[in-house]
Amino acid sequence: MKTFIYTATDVQGNTVKNQRMQAEDVNDFLERIHEKGLFCSSYKEARGDARKNTHKFNTKALAYDSRQMSAMMTSGLTLVKSLDIMCREQVKEGPKRVYREIYENVQKGTSFSDALKMQDGAFPNFFISMIQAGEASGNLDMIMKKLEDHYANEAKLNGKIKSAMVYPIILCVLCIAIVIVMFTFIMPTFKDLLTEEDMKGLTGALFAFSDTLKAYWYLFLGGAFLIVFIIRYLLKIPDIRLKFDQFILKTPPVGPLIVKVYTARFGSTLASLYSSGIPMVECLEKSANIVGNMYVSKCFETVVDEVKQGEQLSVSIQRTGIFESMFTSIIYVGEESGALDSILSKSAQFYQEESDEAITRLVGLIEPLMIIIMGVAIGAVIAGILPAIYNSMGSLTG
């Protein structure tokens, strides 16, 4: 999508300046302008820093803003007034500017969803799709409530992942620090106690590594950064990222636990979108993309095509082999009973609890791994130094 900045005049003769609209190309842009009943006097395509200056709302901010909008609209305030209040209560300049532009555009007759699109990715596609559904059904206040619940759950899940990873990260840093201290400060103090005869095998290898680490530490540091850069670069290549995402899902015991987290996200998103009246095909596309796994998104391209051709949703999802059979069975029951939206909502709550447990178990797999690495490093040092020192002391006393 391209962003166009335009100046136009409406049928009453009012002029609007420096407005933004997203469109596929110039023809699409001019067609959308015509549909709005505007006469475009000038326009240009936004380039360069226009996108870079746009504030992007995170999950926590979206949950809070949805809650505020839902409360105000449920209380009877109009959309324009609610947006005005949202603009006034923003503390930081980034979100304040975004809401100011949305407020001004909606006040001039632009739909809420179109005003959100004009903000160049400040809001996720899921958020905008839900708003479009709310405008079409006339239940925008209820949609804001659903968005509040959805993003509150997402924020809770993200917060749990971050808090759960704190201890493993600290343990990893501690492990690296211990290895560095042992090989750069502790081991060199024993070197003078050993003879050339002692500096063989494991002992010699450890001291050689210690000397290399002290002399060329910057190469080790640069190598670590280079490895991280190469991995991040490779994961940006679609084919490699696809294989990596598939490997993560299929590798036990990590894969089944990650699938539970993905199921919670997919089920929650699908339930929110479908219960809002959005067509199933669009629901599937957006729900698969929000998971954040390229392999899942690729598989659901086939699911979307099959559903378009009349295939049952549960059968098509079961064929991908991604989710547990229990989840596809729940979808099948919903299809047969005609209560797919309510059953999806209940299953989303169940898998939300399952994902919490899965995160805890994932962290439980990382902790012993870090402890084993530290144990191996310390054990190698002890096995390499103590026998040599013992032999050296024995030769002195002898």
Same domain for 318 and 243, yes or no, is yes
Q: Decide if 138 is inside a domain.
A: no
Q: Decide if 131 is inside a domain.
A: no
State residue 227's pLDDT score. 94
Render pLDDT for 343-384 as a digit per residue (tens, 0 to 9): 888 887 788 778 778 877 877 777 787 778 778 877 877 777
Q: Are 328 and 317 in contact (CB under 8 A)?
A: yes
Q: Is the pLDDT of residue 50 over 60?
A: no
Q: Is the pLDDT of residue 229 over 90?
A: yes
Same domain for 29 and 156, yes or no, is no
Q: Decide if 196 is inside a domain.
A: yes
Q: Is the pLDDT of residue 126 over 70?
A: yes
Same domain for 290 and 381, yes or no, is yes
Mean pLDDT value across the chain: 82
State residue 155's pLDDT score. 84
- Spatial distance between the Cα atoms of 119 and 110, rounded to a whole number of angstroms: 13
Tell me the pTM: 0.67
- Spatial distance between the Cα atoms of 392 and 385, rounded to a whole number of angstroms: 10
Same domain for 118 and 216, yes or no, is no
> Would you call 277 helix, strand, or coil by DSSP?
coil
For residue 13, the 8-state DSSP code is: S
Q: Decide if 360 is inside a domain.
A: yes
Q: Are 285 and 272 in contact (CB under 8 A)?
A: no
Same domain for 218 and 363, yes or no, is yes
How many domains, the chain? Answer: 3
Render pLDDT for 283-338 as a digit per residue (tens, 0 to 9): 888 888 778 888 888 888 888 888 888 888 889 988 888 888 888 888 888 888 88
Same domain for 166 and 314, yes or no, is yes
Same domain for 40 and 110, yes or no, is no
Q: HSE on the CB side for 27, CA within 13 Å?
A: 0
Q: Decide if 141 is inside a domain.
A: no
State residue 49's pLDDT score. 45
Render pLDDT for 374-397 as a digit per residue (tens, 0 to 9): 788 778 777 777 777 777 666 555
Q: Decide if 350 is inside a domain.
A: yes
- Spatial distance between the Cα atoms of 296 and 140, rounded to a whole number of angstroms: 31
Same domain for 315 and 344, yes or no, is yes
- Spatial distance between the Cα atoms of 70 and 147, rounded to a whole number of angstroms: 9
Q: Decide if 136 is inside a domain.
A: no
The pLDDT confidence band at residue 52, using thresholds 50, 70 and 90, is very low
The pLDDT confidence band at residue 230, using thresholds 50, 70 and 90, is very high
Same domain for 224 and 263, yes or no, is yes
Same domain for 20 and 98, yes or no, is no
Most confident of 5-19, 86-100, 150-164: 86-100
For residue 184, the 8-state DSSP code is: I
Same domain for 180 and 273, yes or no, is yes
More confident residue, 49 or 244: 244
User: What percentage of the chain has pLDDT greater than the value 90?
Assistant: 5
Domain with 16 in it: 2-50
Same domain for 40 and 119, yes or no, is no
Locate 30 and state its tokens: 């001019």
Q: Decide if 178 is inside a domain.
A: yes
